[in-house]
Amino acid sequence: MNDGVTKGNAAGDCILIAEDDATIAEMLSFRFSAAGFKPLLSANGDAALETALLVRPAILLLDENLPGLKGSQVCEQLARERATAHIPAVIITGHRRVQSTPANLQMIINKPFNTENLVATIIALARRAKLVNAA
């Protein structure tokens, strides 16, 4: 399946996946690798923030209920930084509420989620972000 995402394009196609459930994180890593992304995994919010600031991935996929900083707190801090404010974020959560809704938060997806729909959504958001940032 060719979804139009080119493989192997360094940080431009990186997706930061912050998920503390190792099974979910590995499954998402596999699925996004197959879609052409270079997944970076973080098991807690503090590591996710540090990785995002260093790497500046194309998109963020964050569990809201991470150890340390929550997914929305990671989004908030990245939205305040000029170098990372443009990075779109999606939060996945097993709860109906998210602590905050920062400017870079594009979508909240409840668990359990359909993996194929999640991948398609992330691809669309990454493409849109590339177009906006190129303009």
Closest residue by Cα to residue 112 from 98, 93, 91, 89: 93
**At 56, which amino acid appears?**
R
Task: Dump pLDDT digits (tens) for 29-69.
Answer: 999 999 999 999 999 999 999 999 999 999 999 999 999 99
Task: Dump pLDDT digits (tens) for 112-123.
Answer: 999 999 999 999
* 70-78 average pLDDT score: 95
CB atoms within 10 A of CB 41: 17
CA 38, 41, 47, 53: dihedral to nearest 10 degrees? 10
Q: What is the mean pLDDT of the chain?
A: 87
Q: Domain ranges in the chain?
A: 10-96+103-134
The verdict on pTM exceeding 0.75 is yes
Residue 68: helix, strand or coil by DSSP?
Answer: coil
Q: Give the distance, in angstroms, between the CA of residue 131 and the centroid of all CA atoms in the same chain.
A: 18
Q: Which CATH superfamily is domain 10-96+103-134 in?
A: Response regulator (3.40.50.2300)
